Structure 1
Amino acid sequence: MSIKPWRKAMKYHQFAKTLPTLDQQILELQEIDLYPVDLAQYSFGQVAQHVYRHFLPDFRSQVTLETQLHNLLVDENQDLFSYLARINETFNSKAFYNVALQLLGFFSPQDFSLADPLFAMTKFDLPYLDETNFDFNTFTTAIYQLLNTRCQNGLLFLDNLANRGYFATNLNARKQQRPLFFNGKAQATFAADQFIREVVYVESDLDTDHDGQRDLLQTTIIRPKVANSFIKLPALYTANPYFLGTTDTKMNDVDVPMAIKNPGDAREAVDKFDQFHEFSTKPVSDNQNDPFANHPSVITPNNVGTVTLSDFFLARGFASVYAAGIGTRGSDGIRTCGSPEETKSTIAIIEWLHGDRRAYTDRSRQDEVIADWCSGHVAMTGKSYLGTLAVAAATTGVAGLDTVISEAAISSWYDYYREHGLVVAPETFQGEDANVLTNECFSRQKDAGDYAKIKAFYDHKLKQMIHDQDRESGSYNHFWEVRNYRRDIAKVKCPIVSVHGLNDWNVKPKNVFKLNQVLKEAGIAHKVILHQGQHIYINNFPSLDFYDLINLWLTNKLFQQENHADQIFPDYLIQSNLNESDWQTPDDWQATAQKSYNLAIDFDHKGDSEVRFVDDGVQAFHDSKLKDLAWEQAFIQEDPRFSQNQVVLKTSSLSNELLITGRPVLNLRVKSSANYGLISAMLVDYGEANRLTTRPQILEFAARELGYHGKQENTMAFKQASQATPAKLIAKSHINLQNRTTAYQNEAVQPETYYDLQLPLQPTYYHLPAGRQLGLIIYATDMGMTIRHENNLEYTIDLANSNLTIHQG
């Protein structure tokens, strides 16, 4: 058998592990029927036989069960069936862990040697007891720990047992249809083939389509079937504007002149778009607890595009709730991209789940439907726009929202579509802006009859948005002010978990960095997971126990199980850029120690302390036929076609590793040949190396299930690139010279006049190994992100009066 190389190097970190007292271990083992209730009547040997037979739930006849016990070796010469027949009062630890590794999905001799299983346990970073022989007490702890040990596919052993039918086989039907907890985590006791699916229409206080009626919001629910109506379940709610489809929308033109702004405060400009009528909140019915007043759903959803994280938790007793929001297919209203109205439509669903808002079975508004199955405890989940709306909801302090799990989330829409007074696009989406995303998600257009009723009003509002977003100036105005969720951080009442890629140039890392700063200042719990990927989910990465951490967290926050989640979950969990399996837990993202590099002294630079470059590369870019990302790579590697458009500075080769944490800051003295201009900067890792990829690769297809009869999931990981590359982008940033003080204050620029500006780059956490060079590229137009103005501006940098400051870990 050929074993893939990644399996030999993988470490299976378990940050969510916890070990209760021995008495608690026994109680929990009895609760899941792994230990018999009448335990005192069993000898040690009988307990061991009982346990291992239960470890094979998918082999239900005596013959097949014994065959599998014969297939498990305790050493080179003896199988488990024979060994169990002979044990009395102790169980040899080497035999135990040889069997454990096989049960966890590892192979001998390819993955481990039967002569030394503890070497493999250490190599894979799996927990074990360092004892020669186990008596009943230590055997109990070893078994309990084994159930909470991660398998080769990254799931806990107990999770894999559940997926193979353990709970379906060993728990009676009524016990299966209720929440069950083990090791502080909810267990997969609900079968996927018994989920209830329904659609309701939540009534909001909004009238964003100006038709004189409250906007109805179509909401899709998938929930486990419970044993009786007294069992209430929490909900994982995802606000997903893409949920019911998107439309083809043309990007904005980026090959346009750069504007010269009039001095002044951009926030004083009038925002006409964000003016909508709103009703007062309608009180809920007095008969909320009357089962005869509650009507069943009359619509069953089909082809639902679910979130994998929510799918995982469905089997564990968490309902999944999805709503696309105002302006989407099946709902009323229009899309407003990040506005307060969008946020209010988002939290309306939480208010219904909490019992504070009305909903109906259909659009006639005749028959009310109550979320009587819901405990009123809600968490929000999702990536990108989905995670963004979770952050937005948290900043309202809405009752019922107990926590947020946001991945790659925007915390200010200005930081998504703008930067320091410039229009700056998300990576690979050059020309996108609020108007584009609004129209893309305005899926009411898919229903011709519905669209015809509101087209004129929508077209009018879209024109207002195009004006108010102000692509001409790029300054921070009122339109962007109301789309800055960090303004309302004082209203946040729930803890937040953020997951973000350090190589995400779509939703750039400063969104989560700035969110972390204001949450810390407000004293609100914020757990941050930073990985080496781009704009992705990471739940299926075996090197991190992501599902277990989130299970621990949600079980605590939504089921109110005391499991010490706040203490166990690290405040910062950061993946190294040198090793996919290296997850670090620093005290903070940004270290306090600083190191400053003078651009004239500390970088290898030949010539005068004043250097110049010309910003005339737009035509060369178009002539090259390169796409945005290809241009960026060529630019970093000093392609001669673009060399006159940049100043490239490099340190000498590092004698020791350098850890760059948080936000590097470039303090620059610069002048432009005109009365306007921009500066961009890249921080670069130079040196030939087989670097870690930023796009994950599939390790195994359909490697694991998300519950009994549940969906299957591939496992993925970042891998070392097969070919060496000469350089890699660490961080970048851009600034308008007219906004050198703030993004909202427009200032005049005099030609050939030096200005001092401070340019914070995107935050990072980057290990630069010894032998590499730290590089800095200073340029102007970024072909993949900024406006591409064809010009011939010349910029001069005073290197002696410029420096780069980093926070050194």
Structure 2
Amino acid sequence: MTQHSKFKTAILTFCLTITTVLSVVAQEKATPIFKDGEAQIVEAFNTPDKWIRHDLFVETTFDTDGDGKLDRMHVGVTRPYQTETEGLKLPVIYETSPYYAGVAPDVDGVFWDVKHELGAMEKARVHPEVTRLGERPIISNSQIQTWVPRGYIVVHSSSPGTGLSQGSPTVGGDNESLAPKAVIDWLNGRAKGYTEAYGGEEVEAFWTTGKVGMTGTSYNGTLPLAAATTGVEGLEVIIPVAPNTSYYHYYRSNGLVRSPGGYLGEDIDVLYDYIHSGGEESIIPNSNATINDAHIPKAFKNKRAYSNAMVRDMEMKNGMDRITGDYNDFWAGRDYLNDMAPMKAALLMAHGFNDWNVMPEHSYRIYKKAKDMGLTTQIYYHQFGHGGPPPISMMNKWFTQYLHGIDNDIENEPHKAWIVREGDKMDEPTAYKDYPNPEAKPVTLHLTSGTPKTGGLTTTKPTKQGKETLVDNYSFTGEALARAEITNHRLLFVTPKLTKDVHISGVPQITIKLASNKPAANLSVWLVSLPWNDSRRAKTTDNIITRGWADPQNHKSLTESKPLKPGKFYDVTFDLQPDDQIIKAGQQIGLMIFSSDKEFTLHPKPGTELTVDLDGTYLVLPVVGGADSFNEVFGN
């Protein structure tokens, strides 16, 4: 072999070796892995000690803390190290919250006093302050262990006026929608991020594809919807769990001042104080700042004081109206149903039918609207209380489809609703074509007399039944009233004992023809399953099918209440909370009408009398199979 030939052979061998090495390196690069339409855990990503964690501040388009500068949101990032060393770009799972930096202490007087007459002024409440918790760069550890090993980057941010995020909390105001929008814009190169809250070096999100999915529970579930209503490009899918979709529906019911379950006396200003962990900096951030500060009152020593005065003590105080409970512009601006027109993200809703904090109507109203808009949407309901995300496999498929672009046919699934049936596990929901069940038909139930014991519920309109009167007394709980054999503090009407199971699916509606002996009265309705379950493992909600509340003064208009003329009868029609429940054979369905609900409403002095015209009162119940099926359970 000539010297030239040996040289050519050596070069060829070298090139083959380099090619082989590069090929091996390429093969060893970590990439997401998918099976059965789901992202799998990749061992190369499942290395917490190597994850890159850093924080930054994203500039928004608003200034809500009075310093004359655009507010910046504190953002935390957790990503596989391969996004730094191998040029890997991954999609983002994003959760934002007002809770990450701590909340206000539970002190006496923080809630509104509910013991007073309807329409009366209340004494001032206490305003606790939050001591901010947490240190940079870690905002939260939620979602990380679940999604980073599956090939996602997890991003967190604190809401305006909480933690190290600038601005003011508004509890449903526009800035709480625009803040996550700004973060998503930054992830897509349309907004600026900085290393510090003031000044700092610019930070770019070079490590992401820009596709974002959001999830979270309660307030953290509200904010994905808030972001989606902006129509921001890059937000492909949201999975809100038990989201508050309207602060009016959270703190009012059909014109009635009504607390969320477990938080008697809470209102929107209470929640404001609860989350306001930011805003401790001086109103003017540094001595070199050049701003037009003529609009900043000199009395404010810092941004927290400014926000308290402008948002809580002005906007909220003037807008929330605890006197009448009417729906107004303040509440309309905090109802995400009104803002959905720009929304295009795919939507998987999740909620519990026994969530009496953020009630199940919150998810249903958004699901229905999104479906009407033609968005890809499904709903997951369970029989438990507040919280409860869909099974991880379901969430995985949604994120895989919309963030990684792996077609797993979600849009073509024949089932749009997933209901965890009574006694089943959370990860074993039953699939239905839709919610409400398409086979559910309205069944009208009429009342027969029986006070002070119990009257009846029947599908056959009876002959004239007359009028019955109850006497308000908040001292008795709803459970005590439902269990009582005889009492004049409620009216209770029950069906015969069921000979077969009855499946209720949808939104019951009630019309009550009533008169009050006073110009104002609470009106509460429970639909219950009797006899009451006295087993040691039973919970109060085991016997509650659904509930509803209304202000008779709003019988004509939600936006304008008028005092009742004592003795005059009014027709009050309103929806109860959505439900999907199977009432077992052997039980009876009971409709209970009473006035003040000890757990939810104001507590006026006992003695108000409500008279119900039984002939003008009826319940419309959505029953799977309709009237024919319903009558069968009584042998009719």
* SS in structure 1 of the partner of residue 155 of structure 2: strand
One of 178, 201, 205 as aligned partner of 2:31: 178
| Structure 1 partner of 2:13 | none
Select 2:353's aligned residue among 488, 495, 502: 502
The answer as to 2:105 corresponding to 1:248 is yes
Deviation at 1:416? 0.8
Contact 1:307/1:382 (CA < 8 Å) preserved in 2?
no
Secondary structure (helix, strand or coil) at the match of 2:82 reads coil
Q: How many angstroms apart in 2 are the aligned matches of 1:486 and 1:724?
A: 33
Deviations 1:618-652 (A, max 9, x none): 4x35xxxxxxxxx3433332287xx3321111111
Distance in 1, Cα, partners of 2:542 & 2:146:
38
Q: Quick one: which of 761, 774, 777 aligns to 2:576?
A: 761
Asked if structure 2 preserves the Cα contact closer than 8 Å seen for 1:257 and 1:789, the reply is: yes
Q: Which residue in 1 is equivalent to 2:409?
A: 564
Shift of 1:452: 4.4
**AA of the residue aligned to 1:646:** R
Q: Give the C-alpha shift of residue 723 in structure 1.
A: 6.0
Classify the secondary structure of the residue corresponding to 2:319.
Answer: helix
**8 Å contact kept, 2:352–2:388:** no
Q: 2:604 aligns with which of 783, 789, 799?
A: 789
Q: Deviations over 1:417-455 (max 9, x none)?
A: 111001111110111111111111110267899994224
1:791 deviates by 4.1
Q: 2:260 maps to which residue?
A: 426
Describe how 1:229-240 pairs up with structure 2 within 5 A. Answer: 229-240=86-97
C-alpha distance in structure 2 between counterparts of 1:558 and 1:724, whole Å:
40
Q: Name the amino acid aligned to 1:609.
A: G
* Pairwise CA distance, 1:395: 1.1
C-alpha separation in 2, matches of 1:186 and 1:727? 37
Post-superposition CA distance 1:256-310 (Å, at most 9, x none): 221189xxxxxxxxxxxxxxxxxxxxxxxxxxxxxxxxxxxxx9524x53334x5
Distance 1:798 1:172 in 2: 81
Distance in 2 of aligned mates of 1:635 and 1:601? 17
The answer to whether the aligner puts 1:577 opposite 2:428 as a matched pair is no
| Paired positions, count | 552
The share of aligned pairs that are identical, in percent, is 29
Alpha-carbon distance in 1 for matches of 2:307, 2:501: 56
- In structure 2, the partner of 1:293 is none
Q: Is the 8 A contact 2:530 2:589 kept in 1?
A: yes
Amino acid of the structure 1 residue aligned with 2:527: L
In the other structure, the counterpart of 2:218 is 384
What CA distance in whole angstroms lies between the structure 2 residues aligned with 1:444 and 1:413?
A: 22
**Aligned-partner Cα distance in 2 for 1:688–1:632:** 12
Name the structure 1 match of 2:444.
Answer: 596
Are 2:354 and 1:520 aligned?
no
For residues 602 and 236 of structure 1, do their structure 2 counterparts lie closer, same or farther at Cα, with a shift above 3 Å needed? farther
- Name the structure 1 match of 2:561: 746
Give the residue type in structure 2 aligned to 1:242. Y
Query: What is the SS of the residue equivalent to 1:644?
Result: coil
What is the rounded CA distance, in whole Å, between the counterparts of 2:118 and 2:567 in structure 1?
18
Per the TM alignment, residue 329 of structure 1 is displaced from its structure 2 partner at its CA by 1.9
Describe how 1:195-274 pairs up with structure 2 within 5 A.
Answer: 195-226=51-82, 228-248=85-105, 250-259=110-119
State the partner residue of 1:730.
Answer: 545
Q: Which runs of structure 2 are paired with 1:148-547 in the superposition (5 Å)?
A: 175=28, 177-189=30-42, 190-191=45-46, 192-226=48-82, 228-248=85-105, 250-259=110-119, 301-302=137-138, 304-308=139-143, 310-444=144-278, 452-461=301-310, 462-464=312-314, 465-538=316-389, 546-547=391-392
Q: Using the alignment, how far apart are the partners of 1:353 and 1:485 within structure 2? A: 24
Contact 2:501 2:584 in 1 (8 A): yes
**CA deviation vs aligned residue, 1:669-727 (integer Å, no higher than 9, x gap):** 11111122231100001136588xxxxxxxxxxxxxxxxxxxxxxxxxxxxx6469897
Where do 1:597-676 residues align within 5 Å?
A: 597-600=445-448, 605=455, 609-615=466-472, 617-618=473-474, 620=475, 631-638=477-484, 643-676=487-520
Q: Which amino acid aligns with 1:647?
A: L
Q: CA deviation at 1:789?
A: 1.5
**Residues 600 and 799 in structure 1, CA contact (< 8 A), matched pair in contact too:** yes
User: Match for 2:259: what amino acid?
Assistant: A
CA contact (8 A) 1:218 1:331 kept: yes
Q: What is the match of residue 288 of structure 2? A: none
Which one of the candidate residues 775, 780, 785 is aligned to 2:590?
Answer: 775
Q: 1:654 to 1:639 in 2, by over 3 A?
A: closer
* Cα distance in 2 for residues equivalent to 1:663 and 1:785: 20
| Partners of 1:569 and 1:602 in 2: CA distance | 46
Give distance in 2, aligned partners of 1:724 and 1:348.
43
Determine helix, strand or coil for the equivalent of 2:150.
coil
Name stretches of at least 5 consecutive residues in structure 2 with no aligned partner: 1-23, 122-134, 286-299, 457-463, 625-636
Q: Give 2:513's aligned amino acid.
A: R
User: 1:601/1:586 Cα in 2 relative to 1: closer, same or farther (>3 Å)?
Assistant: farther
C-alpha change, 1:789 and 1:653, in structure 2 (3 Å) is: same
Question: Which one-letter code corresponds to 1:361 in the other structure?
Answer: T
Q: Say if 1:602 and 1:519 are closer, same or farther in 2 by CA, change over 3 A.
A: farther
Contact 1:500 1:530 in 2 (8 A): yes
Contact 2:89/2:208, CA 8 A, preserved across alignment = yes
Q: 1:314 to 1:635 in 2, by over 3 A?
A: farther
Q: Secondary structure in 2 aligned to 1:677?
A: coil
Stretch moving more, 376-385 or 188-197: 188-197
Q: Distance in 1 between matches of 2:599 and 2:518?
A: 23
Q: Which structure's residues are more often helix, by fraction?
A: 1
Alpha-carbon distance in structure 1 between the residues aligned to 2:228 and 2:381:
21
Query: Residue 207 of structure 1: SS of its match in structure 2?
Result: coil
Are residues 722 and 674 of structure 1, via their aligned partners in 2, closer, same or farther at CA, if it must alter by over 3 Å? closer
* CA distance in structure 2 between the partners assigned to 1:726 and 1:222 by the alignment: 40
Residue in structure 1 matched with residue 395 of structure 2 by the alignment: 550
Q: 1:185, 1:552 within 8 Å by CA — same for their partners in 2? A: yes
Change (3 A) 1:727 1:443: closer
Q: How far apart in 2 are the matches of 1:665 and 1:798?
A: 17
Call closer, same or farther: CA 1:723–1:382 in 2, change over 3 Å.
Answer: closer
Cα 1:333–1:741, aligned 2, differ >3 Å: closer, same or farther? same
Distance 1:521 1:202, change over 3 A: same
- Return the offset for 1:379: 0.7
* TM-score normalized with structure 1 length: 0.65
Would the aligned equivalents of 1:686 and 1:726 in 2 still touch at CA under 8 Å?
no
CA distance in 2, matches of 1:644, 1:447: 58
Cα distance in 2 for partners of 1:456, 1:647 equals: 49
The residue number in structure 2 matching 1:682 is 526
Answer with 514-523 or 770-779: which moved more: 514-523
Per-residue CA distance 1:68-113 (angstroms, 9 max, x = gap): xxxxxxxxxxxxxxxxxxxxxxxxxxxxxxxxxxxxxxxxxxxxxx
